[in-house]
Structure 1
Amino acid sequence: MDRLLNNPWIMKIIALLLALMLYLSVSIDNQDTNTILGTSKSSGTGTETITNVPVEVFYDQDNMIISGVPDTVNVTLEGSKSALQQEKLKQDLEVYVDLNNYGLGEHQVELQHRNISDRLDVKIDPQVVTVSIENQQSQEFPVEASFDKNQVKKGYKAGSAQISPETVTVTGAKSQLSQVAYVKALVELDNVSKDVNEQAEVVAFDKNLNKLDVAIEPEVVNVTIPIENRSKKVPISLEQTGTLGEGIEITDLSLDKDEVTVIGEKDVLDSISSIDNIPVDVTGISKTSEVKVDVPVPEGADSVQPKQVTVSVNVKKLDEEEEEETDAEETSVAEEEKDGKKSFESLSVSLNGQNSKYKYEILSPKNGAVRVDLSGPQQQLRNVTRSDIGISANVARLTPGEFSVPISLTVPSGIEGTLSTKTLRVKVSERNPSDEEEQNPSEPPEEGGNNNPDEPSDPSDNTGSNEEDEGNVENNASNEESGSSSAN
Structure 2
Amino acid sequence: MDNWLKSPWVIRFISLALAILLFTTVSLSENSRQSADTGVGDFWSSSDETQVLDDIPVNIQIDQEKYVVSGVPSTVSVTLQGPNSSVTSTSTQRNFDVFVDLEGFDPGTYMVELEHSGISNNLDVYIEPKEVEVTIEERAVDQYDITVDYINEDQIEPGFEVVEGTTNPVQVTITSSKNVIEKIATVKVFVNLQGVDEPIDGREVPVKVYDSEGNELNNARIEPSVVEVTVDVQSPSKVVPIEVTTTGEVQDGITINTITPNLSEVRIFAPEDVLATIEEIETEPLDLTGITEVSTVQLQLNVPSEIRKIETEQVEVSIQLDRTAERVFNLPIEIQNLTEEYSLTFIEPAEGEMDLTVLGLEEEIGNLSEEDLQLSINLDGRQTEEEFEIPVEINAPEGINFEPEYRNIVVRLEQS
Q: TM-score range by the shorter chain?
A: 0.5 to 0.7
CA 1:165/1:274 → structure 2, altered by over 3 Å: closer, same or farther? same
Q: Distance in 2 between matches of 1:71 and 1:289?
A: 79
Matched ranges for 1:167-178 at <5 A: 167-178=171-182
Q: Kindly tell me the number of residue pairs found equivalent between the two proteins.
A: 281
Q: State the superposition RMSD in angstroms.
A: 4.7
- Return the alpha-carbon distance in structure 2 between the equivalents of residues 248 and 72 of structure 1: 91
* 2:158–2:308 Cα contact (<8 Å) kept: no
Candidates 190, 193, 207, aligned match of 2:198: 193
Comparing both structures, which one devotes a greater share of its residues to helix?
Answer: 1
Mapped partners of 1:268, 1:55: distance in 2:
59
Task: Determine which of 90, 95, 98 is the counterpart of 2:93.
Answer: 90
Partner of 1:227: 233
Residue pairs, 1:63-78, within 5 angstroms = 63-78=66-81
State whether residues 234 and 262 of structure 1, in contact with CA within 8 Å, keep that contact through their aligned partners in structure 2. Answer: yes
TM-score by length of 2: 0.52
8 Å contact kept, 1:53–1:95:
yes
Find the counterpart in structure 2 of residue 158 from structure 1. 162
**2:162–2:232 Cα contact (<8 Å) kept:** yes
TM-aligned CA distance change 1:42 to 1:270, over 3 Å? same
CA 1:255 to 1:135, structure 2 compared with 1: closer, same or farther past 3 Å?
same
TM-score, with length taken from structure 1: 0.46
1:292·1:308 contact (CA, 8 Å) conserved in 2? no
Return the alpha-carbon distance in structure 1 between the equivalents of residues 154 and 221 of structure 2.
31
- Cα deviation digits, residues 157-197 of structure 1 (max 9, x gap): 21244557655443321111122121124556561433746
Larger RCO (CA within 8 A; separation ≥ 6): 2
Q: Which amino acid aligns with 1:156?
A: F
**Corresponding residue for residue 63 of structure 2:** 60
Q: Which runs of 5+ in 1 are unaligned?
A: 1-40, 319-362, 368-446, 449-488
Aligned match for 1:203, one of 204, 208, 213: 208
1:266 aligns with 2:272: yes
- Measured in 2, the distance between the counterparts of 1:86 and 1:131 equals 32
Query: C-alpha distance in 2, partners of 1:45/1:289?
Result: 100
User: Is the 8 Å Cα contact of residues 235 and 270 (structure 2) preserved in structure 1?
Assistant: no
Partner of 1:33: none
Quote the offset at 1:131 in angstroms. Answer: 1.0
Match of 2:134 in 1: 131
1:107 and 2:107 matched: no
Aligned position for 1:142: 145
2:188 aligned partner, one-letter code: K
- Aligned residue in 2 for 1:212: 218
Give the 5 Å matches for 1:212-361. Answer: 212-216=218-222, 224-239=230-245, 260-280=266-286, 293-298=299-304, 301-305=306-310, 308-309=313-314, 311=316
Distance in 2 between residues matched to 1:154 and 1:87, nearest whole Å:
62
1:444 maps to what in 2? none
Identity %: 31
Structure with bigger gyration radius: 2
Check the 8 A contact 1:176/1:212 in 2, yes or no.
no
1:268 is displaced (CA, Å) by: 2.6
In the alignment, the residues of structure 2 paired with residue 281 and residue 53 of structure 1 have an alpha-carbon distance, to the nearest angstrom, of 81
In the alignment, which residue of structure 1 is the partner of 2:184? 180
Q: Deviations over 1:211-261 (max 9, x none)?
A: 433234565667554333333343434445579999999999887876544
CA distance in 1, matches of 2:167, 2:247: 55
* Cα distance, 1:69 vs structure 2: 0.9
Partner of 2:390: none
Q: Given residue 264 of structure 1, which amino acid in structure 2 is its aligned partner? A: A
Instruction: Confirm or deny: 8 A CA contact 1:250 1:313 kept in the other structure.
Output: no
* Structure 2 gap ranges (5+): 1-43, 324-360, 365-379, 382-416
Aligned equivalent of 1:16: none
Alpha carbons 1:294, 1:307 under 8 Å: kept: no
Does the C-alpha gap of structure 1 residues 89 and 138 become closer, same or farther in structure 2, counting only changes over 3 Å?
Answer: closer
